[in-house]
Amino acid sequence: MNHLIVLCGPVGCGKSTFIKEFLARHSNFKHVDVFNYIQRYKDEFGHIEPDGSLKAHQELHQELEEMGGDIILELGTNREELNLNGLAKLRDKYKINIFFCLLETETCISRVILRATQNQKRIIHEKDLRKKFERVWPDNHVKIAQELRLPYNILDMNLSFEEKLKIIEFLMQDIKTVAAAIFIRDKKILLVKIKNVWIIPGGALEEGETEIECLNREISEEFPGLKLANLEFYNNFIGQSPNRGDAINVKVYQGKMTGEMQIKGLDEVVDYDFVDDFTNYNLSEITRKIVNLLRQDGYL
């Protein structure tokens, strides 16, 4: 099955720059850019009416259905329902990996203004540009992708090209998706012990299961007295499973729980603890990455 890699993000976040270097390593891929379709409907001043934007995106998806081979697709942040529903229709034709590209708003804006200054044919009004960044991003895209059961990941565009390439090439493999949940009390995070390794609770998705459904099932299996609430996507992490060594992509959520903490005693979990000092805990590689990011973000 051919690959369809989708880079979705705001203008100025570095999608085009990355794709140019990616194609130098993967010349079998074809670059498809929604911007080229939008250009067809812009007037001489670079303005496009909503109807023209809609037609441009519709034409893009019509042509994607007719294309073949490996494709790397570049999308902006608008028309998310149309774009993601269109991609869902292609899942039997392509192995799809969607990357929501994140970069600081001010960095994106300064890049766009600089490019416009260098290209005297383009006139950019900063006020109009800032309006584009008022869209909620990427929360709504993540929600729709979850509902459609589309594979998605968050890609930090501050990473070097080699680091981003490593992530994308890793996820081009056939790897297992795992959902995991962060529960924090008084700056302490819940960890569970499986064999001799401590991880955050969760497990692998079963056929046709969403990440939220997986977490509800896994937590009910490991801690029958607990109920989950307010689960929100935090980030994704790639690496190897601690006990089997399988390549995994871990989708991590933050949430709350109610009920009584009690291990069922029949599954893999042999112990649990709320932890803020990890000195005497043998953390898995991915759990350590999660803990480090939580500290950086001020949760721990």
In the chain, domain spans: 2-171, 176-296
Q: For the whole model, what pTM was predicted?
A: 0.78
Q: State the pLDDT at residue 122.
A: 57
Q: Which of 113, 100, 97, 141 is nearest to 10 (CA)?
A: 100
Which residues lie closer than 8 Å to 42 by C-beta, 6 or more apart? 48, 52
Q: Which of 71, 237, 239 is nearest to 154 (CA)?
A: 237
Grade residue 265 by pLDDT with cuts at 50, 70 and 90. low
Ordered alpha helix ranges (H), the chain = 15-25, 34-39, 50-66, 80-88, 105-118, 126-132, 139-147, 161-171, 211-222, 285-296
In the predicted model, is pLDDT for residue 241 greater than 80?
A: yes
**Least confident segment among 62-71, 110-119, 167-176, 201-210:** 110-119
Averaged over 232-236, what is the pLDDT?
91
Give CA 212 to chain center in angstroms: 15
Averaged over 217-226, what is the pLDDT?
87
Asked whether 123 and 45 are in contact (CB, 8 A), the reply is: yes
Each residue's pLDDT tens digit, 68-80 = 999 999 999 999 9
Q: State the pLDDT at residue 124.
A: 64
**Least confident segment among 119-128, 160-169, 195-204, 210-219:** 119-128
Averaged over 231-259, what is the pLDDT?
88
Q: How far is CA 27 from CA 4, 20, 192, in A?
A: 14, 10, 44
Q: What percent of the chain is modeled with pLDDT above 90?
A: 64
Chain mean pLDDT for the chain: 90
Same fold: 2-171 with 176-296: no
Asked whether 198 and 192 are in contact (CB, 8 A), the reply is: yes
One of 3.90.79.10, 3.90.1150.10, 1.10.150.20, 3.50.50.60 is the CATH number of 176-296, namely: 3.90.79.10
Helices 50-66 and 80-88 pack at an angle, to 10 degrees, of 10
2-171, CATH topology level: Rossmann fold (3.40.50)
Half-sphere exposure (CA, 13 Å, Cβ side) for 233?
21
Question: CA 147 to CA 193: how far, in whole Å?
Answer: 31
